[in-house]
Amino acid sequence: MRRLLRVLTADAAQLTQGQAPVTDQERELAEIPANLTVTVGFGERIFDLVAPHAKPSWLRPLPAFPQIDRLQEEWGAADLLLQIGCEDRVTLAHAQRVLLKDVRGFGTLAWTQQGFRNAAGSVRASQTTRNLFGQVDGTVNPSTEDGSVEDVVWGRAEGLTPWTPDGTSVVIRRIHMNLDTWDEVDTPGREDAVGRTLADGRP
């Protein structure tokens, strides 16, 4: 695990700075970092095997919502998470390929989930964006303006385990958005379904 993390750390550090790692066979694709970020996360089993004493108390399988969840085992928890973010799809695809090649000798890829939002510069930094249903999405996210994001996202609140500060946690729940059915619902019906107005996201 230490060896894998050293490799990932070194290559991610170079890629985020627009530099090609030693093993990069498409070095030209690393020249535009485009605000590339790489976040590494540990699953429950890593803590159980390597450092049980450092395992966060909240790290455990998520309970299902019986009425709505259709959980599939192949999309379940894995041992290691790589979250790669970028403002350029080519740079992102290249970084993903480089980092997944790093992992090949240590493990097997469990699953990949792509995500996206508005392109950089297309909306104001403080503007709450909309999802594919047209809903205002993320209205209760921590704010960068009042400092709450530092405590909530980056683990700088009091009473945390020693390694937690400047780290974070992630919960992934995949949601199936049936847009064809959504097309058949009028605006009042859509607002009733989500409990919020479409115009401004108010309850």
Residue 86's closest CA among 35, 134, 18?
Answer: 35
Which of 29, 121, 42 is closest to 77 using CA atoms?
Answer: 42
The helix-helix angle for 89-103 and 2-16 (nearest 10°) equals 160
pLDDT tens profile 81-127: 999 999 999 999 999 999 999 999 899 999 999 998 888 788 887 77
84 strand-pairing partners: 38
- The full set of domain ranges for the chain reads 1-120, 128-203
Considering only residues 146 and 44, tell me which one the structure prediction assigns the higher pLDDT. Answer: 44
Is residue 39 helix, strand or coil? Answer: strand
pTM: 0.85
**DSSP 8-class letter at 119:** P
pLDDT digit string, tens, across residues 136-194: 887 677 777 777 777 777 766 665 666 666 778 888 888 889 999 999 999 999 999 98
